[in-house]
Structure 1
Amino acid sequence: MYSLAFYKKEFATNWKLAFPVILGMLGHTFVAFADNIMVGQLGAAELAAVSLGNSFFFVAFAVGIGISAAITPLIAEADGSGKKLNVKKVFKHGLVICLSSGIILFGVLLVLGPLMESMKQPAEVVALAVPYYEIISLSLIPIMVFQAFRTLCDGLSRTKIPMYATLISNALNILFNYLLIFGNWGFPALGVIGAGYGTLISRVLMVLFIAIVLYRSSYFREFITRLNWKKTSWGYVKKILNLGLPTSAQVFFEVTLFTMAVWLSGILGTIEQAANQIALNLSSMTYMVGQGLSVAAMIRVGNQKGKKDIVRLKEVAFSLFGMTLLIEIVFALAFLIFRHDLPLVYLDTESSLNQVENLKVISLASMLLLWSAFFQISDGLQVVILGALRGIQD
Structure 2
Amino acid sequence: MLSNEHSNIVLLKEIAELLNEETEMIPMLQGALRKFLTGTKFETGWIFFIDTKEKHQLLAYENLPTALEYGSCHQLQKGGCWCVSKYRNGELKKATNIIECQRIESAIDSKVDDYGGITHHATVALQSGQERFGLLNVATPYTVGFIDDELALLESVAFQMGSAIKRILLTKQEQEMALVQERNRLARDLHDSVNQLLFSVTLTARGGSELAEQPQVKATFREIQHLTQEALTEMRALIWQLRPKGLESGLIEGLKGYAEMLGLSLTTNVSGVIILPSRTEETLFRIAQEGLNNVRKHAGVQEAELFITVTPSDVLLVLKDEGGGFQMDSNVRLPSIGIQSMQDRARAARGSVDWVSEMEKGTEILIRLPY
Q: TM-score range by the shorter chain?
A: under 0.3
Greater percentage in helix: 1
User: Higher relative CO (CA 8 A, sep ≥ 6), structure 1 or 2?
Assistant: 1
Larger Rg: 2
Q: Structure 2-normalised TM-score?
A: 0.27
